[in-house]
Structure 1
Amino acid sequence: MDERYAPQPVAGWFKFAAIAAILFMALGCWGYLMSVITDPSALPLDQRNLMLARPIWMIAAYALAVWVGLAGAILLLMRRKLAEPLLLVSLICAVLTFLPYAVVPAVSDLVTTNDIAVAVVVVLITATIYSFARHSRMRGWLR
Protein backbone atom coordinates (compact mmCIF):
# COMPACT_ATOMS: atom_id res chain seq x y z
CA MET A 1 0.00 0.00 0.00
CA ASP A 2 1.16 3.52 -0.74
CA GLU A 3 2.18 5.28 2.47
CA ARG A 4 0.36 8.46 1.41
CA TYR A 5 -2.99 6.78 1.85
CA ALA A 6 -4.51 5.18 4.90
CA PRO A 7 -6.58 2.06 4.15
CA GLN A 8 -10.11 3.02 3.30
CA PRO A 9 -13.28 0.94 3.26
CA VAL A 10 -13.84 -0.78 -0.07
CA ALA A 11 -16.26 1.22 -2.21
CA GLY A 12 -19.66 -0.29 -2.86
CA TRP A 13 -19.06 -0.19 -6.62
CA PHE A 14 -15.79 -2.17 -6.39
CA LYS A 15 -17.31 -5.61 -7.08
CA PHE A 16 -19.38 -4.32 -9.99
CA ALA A 17 -16.30 -2.74 -11.59
CA ALA A 18 -14.17 -5.85 -11.00
CA ILE A 19 -16.85 -8.10 -12.54
CA ALA A 20 -17.08 -5.73 -15.53
CA ALA A 21 -13.28 -6.04 -15.91
CA ILE A 22 -13.57 -9.85 -15.86
CA LEU A 23 -16.31 -9.77 -18.51
CA PHE A 24 -14.24 -7.46 -20.74
CA MET A 25 -11.16 -9.68 -20.43
CA ALA A 26 -13.26 -12.83 -21.00
CA LEU A 27 -14.62 -11.25 -24.17
CA GLY A 28 -11.02 -10.66 -25.25
CA CYS A 29 -10.18 -14.32 -24.55
CA TRP A 30 -13.15 -15.41 -26.66
CA GLY A 31 -11.99 -13.11 -29.48
CA TYR A 32 -8.48 -14.52 -29.26
CA LEU A 33 -9.73 -18.11 -29.44
CA MET A 34 -11.91 -17.27 -32.44
CA SER A 35 -8.95 -15.63 -34.18
CA VAL A 36 -6.70 -18.67 -33.78
CA ILE A 37 -9.25 -21.38 -34.60
CA THR A 38 -10.88 -19.67 -37.58
CA ASP A 39 -9.86 -21.03 -40.96
CA PRO A 40 -8.65 -18.00 -42.97
CA SER A 41 -10.08 -19.50 -46.16
CA ALA A 42 -13.57 -19.15 -44.66
CA LEU A 43 -13.19 -15.37 -44.37
CA PRO A 44 -13.81 -12.62 -46.92
CA LEU A 45 -10.66 -11.74 -48.87
CA ASP A 46 -9.88 -8.52 -46.96
CA GLN A 47 -10.17 -10.20 -43.55
CA ARG A 48 -8.24 -13.25 -44.76
CA ASN A 49 -5.37 -11.08 -46.00
CA LEU A 50 -5.23 -9.20 -42.70
CA MET A 51 -5.27 -12.42 -40.70
CA LEU A 52 -2.46 -13.92 -42.78
CA ALA A 53 -0.37 -10.72 -42.58
CA ARG A 54 -0.21 -10.73 -38.78
CA PRO A 55 3.32 -11.34 -37.44
CA ILE A 56 3.62 -14.12 -34.85
CA TRP A 57 4.63 -11.63 -32.14
CA MET A 58 1.32 -9.81 -32.66
CA ILE A 59 -0.59 -13.03 -32.03
CA ALA A 60 1.58 -13.77 -28.97
CA ALA A 61 0.99 -10.26 -27.59
CA TYR A 62 -2.75 -10.74 -28.12
CA ALA A 63 -2.67 -14.02 -26.19
CA LEU A 64 -0.74 -12.47 -23.29
CA ALA A 65 -2.94 -9.37 -23.22
CA VAL A 66 -6.18 -11.29 -22.83
CA TRP A 67 -5.16 -14.30 -20.71
CA VAL A 68 -2.93 -12.33 -18.30
CA GLY A 69 -5.64 -9.65 -18.25
CA LEU A 70 -8.29 -12.21 -17.31
CA ALA A 71 -6.09 -13.55 -14.50
CA GLY A 72 -5.46 -9.98 -13.30
CA ALA A 73 -9.17 -9.13 -13.37
CA ILE A 74 -10.03 -12.26 -11.39
CA LEU A 75 -7.35 -11.38 -8.83
CA LEU A 76 -8.77 -7.86 -8.71
CA LEU A 77 -12.17 -9.25 -7.75
CA MET A 78 -10.38 -11.35 -5.12
CA ARG A 79 -8.71 -8.12 -3.95
CA ARG A 80 -5.15 -9.39 -4.46
CA LYS A 81 -2.20 -7.03 -5.02
CA LEU A 82 -0.86 -9.21 -7.84
CA ALA A 83 -3.76 -7.90 -9.95
CA GLU A 84 -2.03 -4.56 -10.54
CA PRO A 85 1.20 -5.82 -12.17
CA LEU A 86 -0.71 -8.42 -14.19
CA LEU A 87 -3.05 -5.76 -15.52
CA LEU A 88 -0.05 -3.59 -16.40
CA VAL A 89 1.39 -6.50 -18.42
CA SER A 90 -2.00 -6.85 -20.10
CA LEU A 91 -2.02 -3.15 -21.01
CA ILE A 92 1.50 -3.27 -22.45
CA CYS A 93 0.63 -6.38 -24.46
CA ALA A 94 -2.59 -4.76 -25.70
CA VAL A 95 -0.54 -1.88 -27.08
CA LEU A 96 1.90 -4.36 -28.68
CA THR A 97 -1.04 -6.25 -30.19
CA PHE A 98 -2.09 -3.21 -32.19
CA LEU A 99 1.40 -1.84 -32.90
CA PRO A 100 1.57 -3.63 -36.28
CA TYR A 101 -1.34 -1.45 -37.42
CA ALA A 102 1.20 1.39 -37.52
CA VAL A 103 4.60 -0.23 -38.06
CA VAL A 104 4.17 -3.39 -40.15
CA PRO A 105 3.40 -2.38 -43.75
CA ALA A 106 1.78 -5.74 -44.59
CA VAL A 107 -0.72 -5.09 -41.79
CA SER A 108 -1.05 -1.30 -41.90
CA ASP A 109 -1.99 -1.44 -45.59
CA LEU A 110 -4.96 -3.68 -44.74
CA VAL A 111 -6.47 -2.14 -41.59
CA THR A 112 -9.61 -0.07 -41.80
CA THR A 113 -10.75 2.93 -39.83
CA ASN A 114 -13.02 0.58 -37.86
CA ASP A 115 -10.04 -1.64 -36.95
CA ILE A 116 -8.18 1.41 -35.64
CA ALA A 117 -11.23 2.60 -33.68
CA VAL A 118 -11.60 -0.82 -32.04
CA ALA A 119 -7.88 -0.83 -31.17
CA VAL A 120 -8.13 2.59 -29.53
CA VAL A 121 -11.21 1.60 -27.52
CA VAL A 122 -9.63 -1.69 -26.38
CA VAL A 123 -6.44 0.04 -25.24
CA LEU A 124 -8.42 2.76 -23.43
CA ILE A 125 -10.61 0.23 -21.61
CA THR A 126 -7.56 -1.87 -20.69
CA ALA A 127 -5.81 1.28 -19.39
CA THR A 128 -8.90 2.12 -17.34
CA ILE A 129 -8.93 -1.35 -15.79
CA TYR A 130 -5.24 -1.03 -14.93
CA SER A 131 -5.90 2.42 -13.42
CA PHE A 132 -8.72 0.91 -11.37
CA ALA A 133 -6.32 -1.72 -10.01
CA ARG A 134 -3.71 0.93 -9.22
CA HIS A 135 -6.32 3.10 -7.50
CA SER A 136 -7.53 0.08 -5.53
CA ARG A 137 -4.01 -0.72 -4.33
CA MET A 138 -3.38 2.89 -3.35
CA ARG A 139 -6.64 2.95 -1.36
CA GLY A 140 -5.60 -0.19 0.51
CA TRP A 141 -8.37 -2.31 -1.01
CA LEU A 142 -5.96 -5.00 -2.24
CA ARG A 143 -4.13 -7.35 0.10
Structure 2
Amino acid sequence: MMKSDDRFAPRPLARWYWVGAIAVLLFMLMGCAGYLVSVFTPLDQLPADQRALMEARPVWMIAAYAIAVWVGLLGAIALLARRKVAVPLLLVSLVGAIFTFLPYAVVPRVRELATENDGAVGIVVTALVWTSFWFARHSQQRGWLR
Protein backbone atom coordinates (compact mmCIF):
# COMPACT_ATOMS: atom_id res chain seq x y z
CA MET A 1 0.00 0.00 0.00
CA MET A 2 1.33 3.44 -0.96
CA LYS A 3 1.57 6.18 1.65
CA SER A 4 0.03 9.50 0.64
CA ASP A 5 3.47 11.18 0.71
CA ASP A 6 4.92 8.64 -1.76
CA ARG A 7 3.23 10.28 -4.74
CA PHE A 8 5.31 13.42 -4.12
CA ALA A 9 8.62 11.60 -3.71
CA PRO A 10 11.17 12.32 -6.45
CA ARG A 11 11.33 9.68 -9.14
CA PRO A 12 14.67 8.29 -10.27
CA LEU A 13 16.28 10.40 -12.99
CA ALA A 14 15.43 8.96 -16.40
CA ARG A 15 18.37 8.18 -18.64
CA TRP A 16 16.88 10.26 -21.43
CA TYR A 17 16.91 13.38 -19.20
CA TRP A 18 20.49 14.18 -20.22
CA VAL A 19 19.69 13.76 -23.91
CA GLY A 20 16.82 16.22 -23.54
CA ALA A 21 18.85 18.73 -21.51
CA ILE A 22 21.71 18.65 -24.03
CA ALA A 23 19.24 19.04 -26.91
CA VAL A 24 17.77 22.13 -25.22
CA LEU A 25 21.28 23.53 -24.72
CA LEU A 26 22.23 22.97 -28.38
CA PHE A 27 18.96 24.53 -29.57
CA MET A 28 19.48 27.60 -27.38
CA LEU A 29 23.10 27.92 -28.54
CA MET A 30 21.86 27.91 -32.15
CA GLY A 31 19.40 30.66 -31.20
CA CYS A 32 22.19 32.73 -29.64
CA ALA A 33 24.32 32.28 -32.77
CA GLY A 34 21.38 33.34 -34.95
CA TYR A 35 20.83 36.41 -32.80
CA LEU A 36 24.48 37.43 -33.02
CA VAL A 37 24.45 37.01 -36.80
CA SER A 38 21.26 39.06 -37.09
CA VAL A 39 22.59 42.01 -35.11
CA PHE A 40 26.21 42.03 -36.28
CA THR A 41 25.81 41.36 -40.02
CA PRO A 42 26.15 44.68 -41.86
CA LEU A 43 22.88 45.42 -43.65
CA ASP A 44 24.71 46.32 -46.85
CA GLN A 45 25.87 42.69 -47.10
CA LEU A 46 22.29 41.40 -47.25
CA PRO A 47 20.12 40.99 -50.34
CA ALA A 48 17.66 43.86 -50.77
CA ASP A 49 14.61 41.86 -49.58
CA GLN A 50 16.34 40.67 -46.40
CA ARG A 51 17.74 44.14 -45.74
CA ALA A 52 14.24 45.64 -46.02
CA LEU A 53 12.86 43.08 -43.56
CA MET A 54 15.70 43.70 -41.10
CA GLU A 55 15.13 47.46 -41.29
CA ALA A 56 11.38 47.03 -40.76
CA ARG A 57 11.80 45.15 -37.48
CA PRO A 58 10.60 47.16 -34.47
CA VAL A 59 13.11 47.59 -31.64
CA TRP A 60 10.92 45.56 -29.28
CA MET A 61 11.16 42.58 -31.68
CA ILE A 62 14.96 42.65 -31.49
CA ALA A 63 14.80 43.03 -27.69
CA ALA A 64 12.39 40.07 -27.44
CA TYR A 65 14.78 38.01 -29.60
CA ALA A 66 17.67 38.83 -27.25
CA ILE A 67 15.60 37.92 -24.19
CA ALA A 68 14.37 34.69 -25.78
CA VAL A 69 17.80 33.37 -26.68
CA TRP A 70 19.97 34.58 -23.78
CA VAL A 71 17.46 33.76 -21.04
CA GLY A 72 16.80 30.48 -22.84
CA LEU A 73 20.52 29.70 -22.73
CA LEU A 74 20.53 30.35 -18.97
CA GLY A 75 17.51 28.04 -18.67
CA ALA A 76 19.31 25.31 -20.61
CA ILE A 77 22.35 25.63 -18.37
CA ALA A 78 20.05 25.42 -15.35
CA LEU A 79 18.57 22.21 -16.80
CA LEU A 80 22.06 20.73 -17.08
CA ALA A 81 22.69 21.74 -13.47
CA ARG A 82 19.28 20.24 -12.58
CA ARG A 83 18.05 23.49 -11.01
CA LYS A 84 14.39 24.46 -10.63
CA VAL A 85 15.13 27.96 -11.89
CA ALA A 86 15.16 26.41 -15.38
CA VAL A 87 11.35 26.45 -15.40
CA PRO A 88 10.79 30.22 -15.03
CA LEU A 89 13.79 30.98 -17.24
CA LEU A 90 12.42 28.85 -20.06
CA LEU A 91 8.98 30.39 -19.57
CA VAL A 92 10.53 33.85 -20.06
CA SER A 93 12.31 32.49 -23.14
CA LEU A 94 8.96 31.23 -24.50
CA VAL A 95 7.30 34.62 -24.00
CA GLY A 96 10.33 36.24 -25.68
CA ALA A 97 10.00 33.84 -28.63
CA ILE A 98 6.32 34.68 -29.02
CA PHE A 99 7.10 38.41 -29.09
CA THR A 100 10.00 37.80 -31.48
CA PHE A 101 7.71 36.35 -34.12
CA LEU A 102 4.55 38.35 -33.33
CA PRO A 103 5.52 41.17 -35.73
CA TYR A 104 5.15 38.75 -38.65
CA ALA A 105 1.43 38.81 -37.88
CA VAL A 106 0.77 42.25 -36.38
CA VAL A 107 3.26 44.78 -37.78
CA PRO A 108 2.04 45.69 -41.28
CA ARG A 109 5.47 46.45 -42.84
CA VAL A 110 7.05 43.28 -41.39
CA ARG A 111 4.03 41.22 -42.45
CA GLU A 112 4.24 42.43 -46.06
CA LEU A 113 8.01 41.76 -46.28
CA ALA A 114 8.01 38.37 -44.54
CA THR A 115 7.84 35.21 -46.58
CA GLU A 116 5.86 32.07 -45.81
CA ASN A 117 9.17 30.51 -44.82
CA ASP A 118 9.69 33.24 -42.19
CA GLY A 119 6.30 32.42 -40.70
CA ALA A 120 6.97 28.70 -40.73
CA VAL A 121 10.32 29.20 -39.00
CA GLY A 122 8.56 31.28 -36.35
CA ILE A 123 6.01 28.55 -35.69
CA VAL A 124 8.64 25.80 -35.51
CA VAL A 125 10.99 27.79 -33.26
CA THR A 126 8.16 28.78 -30.91
CA ALA A 127 7.03 25.14 -30.74
CA LEU A 128 10.58 24.03 -29.87
CA VAL A 129 10.88 26.68 -27.15
CA TRP A 130 7.51 25.56 -25.77
CA THR A 131 8.80 21.96 -25.80
CA SER A 132 11.90 23.08 -23.88
CA PHE A 133 9.70 24.78 -21.28
CA TRP A 134 7.45 21.70 -21.08
CA PHE A 135 10.52 19.48 -20.60
CA ALA A 136 11.70 21.66 -17.69
CA ARG A 137 8.23 21.61 -16.09
CA HIS A 138 7.96 17.86 -16.54
CA SER A 139 11.40 17.42 -14.98
CA GLN A 140 10.43 19.59 -12.03
CA GLN A 141 7.21 17.65 -11.51
CA ARG A 142 9.20 14.42 -11.48
CA GLY A 143 11.48 15.83 -8.80
CA TRP A 144 14.54 15.81 -11.06
CA LEU A 145 15.32 19.47 -10.46
CA ARG A 146 16.59 20.77 -7.14
TM bin (shorter chain):
over 0.9
* 2:58 counterpart residue number: 55
Q: Distance in 2 between matches of 1:17 and 1:61?
A: 25
Q: Structure 2 matches for 1:63-82, cutoff 5 A?
A: 63-82=66-85
Other structure's SS at 1:107 match = helix
- Structure 1 distance, partners of 2:95, 2:37, is 22
Q: How does 1:95-114 map to 2 (within 5 A)?
A: 95-114=98-117
The list of structure 1 runs, each at least 4 consecutive aligned residues, that deviate by more than 4 angstroms after superposition, is none
Cα distance in 2 between the residues matched to 1:6 and 1:123: 32
Task: Give 2:12's aligned residue.
Answer: 9
Give, in angstroms, the shift of residue 5 of structure 1. Answer: 3.4
Q: Which amino acid aligns with 1:46?
A: D
**AA of the residue aligned to 1:27:** M
- Counterparts of 1:104 and 1:67, CA distance in 2: 24
* Length-normalised TM-score, structure 1: 0.96
**Structure number with larger C-alpha Rg:** 2
Question: TM-score, normalised on structure 2?
Answer: 0.94
Aligned length: 141
Q: Which runs of 5+ in 2 are unaligned?
A: none
Distance 1:5 1:52 in 2: 51
